[in-house]
Amino acid sequence: MTASEANLPAFLIDKRRLKEGEVFPFACHPGVPCFNSCCADVNIVLTPLDVLRLARRLGLHTRDFLETFTSNPITKDLKLPMVMLKMKDEEGKPCPFVGAAGCTVYGERPWACRMYPLGMAIPPARAGEEPEPMFFVFEDDHCQGREQPGCRTWTATAWREDQGLAQQDELEAGFRDLVSHPWFIGGRTLDPKRMHMFYTACYDLDTFRSFIFESSFRERFEVPPEELEELKSNDEALLRFAFRWLRFAIFAEPTMKVREGAAERSEK
């Protein structure tokens, strides 16, 4: 076992790691006997884009979506806020978005649902090194998707492209840079204020937009007028901006330009 594999999250321990170019068989559709069985009593971690897309699909403010459909687990080892999809409080604990015909929000289904049966881990950050993701395959007993006659085989790359994950990962590259930042080397953790800051900017995007346009934010930071105009209505641009702002606010990187005299005014 490599040093990177020794630091795997618990849910990936003992899972089969895929080598470069290695294939796995899988199919999922209403004709598979286990269809929908994996959409209940499961831990689904939501990414910032997952929250945004689902909130927009349901016509909800991001804060209302978070309060209604998610939970925030807290453990002593948690270095960053985590958002999980809340299962229904009824027998079997089904996903709130699953119906008899399958996923009712399929076009906006979460990253974890798109990835299955793949798992992915990003090794711990090392100064000066870009971490390469590792891919694993889940071979759960309840899933019959890998046993269908003539089902297609996939590499990790082909599966991710088929599921539209390449585009999502490109948009959330800034998020991955945050969670794997070398600042966390040595066990550093965020204080409660910065934890809340991270949660708001990454997940509660509508509240973050209000922070930009209804606080003194624009007086303290120089943001080109054309960019500000785009941030008013372009959610994806706002998400990218949020990741950039967090690098400034949490890691003190020069990703934002402070207006001249703004620091002095804020201290008065």
Q: Where are the domains of the chain?
A: 3-179, 190-267
Measure the CA–CA gap between 234 and 242, rounded to whole angstroms: 12
Whether 173 and 156 have beta carbons less than 8 Å apart is answered as no
Give the burial string for 95-134 (b: 16+ CB within 10 Å, else e): bebbeeeebebeebbbbbbbbbbbbbbebebeeeeebeeb
Hey, what are 29's tokens? Answer: 């559709």
* pLDDT for the residue numbered 119: 87
- Provide the whole-model pTM: 0.87
**Is residue 135 helix, strand or coil?**
strand
**In this model, does residue 226 exceed pLDDT 90?**
yes
User: What pLDDT was estimated at residue 10?
Assistant: 65
Q: What is the pLDDT of residue 267?
A: 42
Instruction: Tell whether the model's pLDDT for residue 88 goes beyond 90.
Output: yes
Q: How would you write 100-113 as a 3-class SS string?
A: CCEECCHHHCCHHH
Contact 101, 219 (CB under 8 A): no
**Residue-level pLDDT at 130:** 64
pLDDT given for residue 3 in this prediction: 43
- Give me the residues paired with residue 153 across strands: 25
Q: Quick one: DSSP state of residue 203?
A: T
Please give the pLDDT value at position 8: 60
Q: Categorize the per-residue pLDDT at 252 as very low, low, confident or very high, splitting at 50, 70 and 90.
A: very high
Q: d(Cα 143, Cα 37) in Å, to the nearest integer?
A: 8
As a whole number, mean pLDDT of residues 226-250 equals 96
Here the tokens at position 99 are 């119906």
CA dist 111 → 175, 215, 230 (Å): 13, 32, 26
Question: What is the overall mean pLDDT for the chain?
Answer: 87
d(CA 49, CA 239): 8
Model confidence at 124: pLDDT above 70: no
- Summarised one tens digit per residue, pLDDT across range 20-46 is 899 999 998 888 888 888 899 999 999
Residues 214-224: pLDDT tens digits? 999 999 999 99
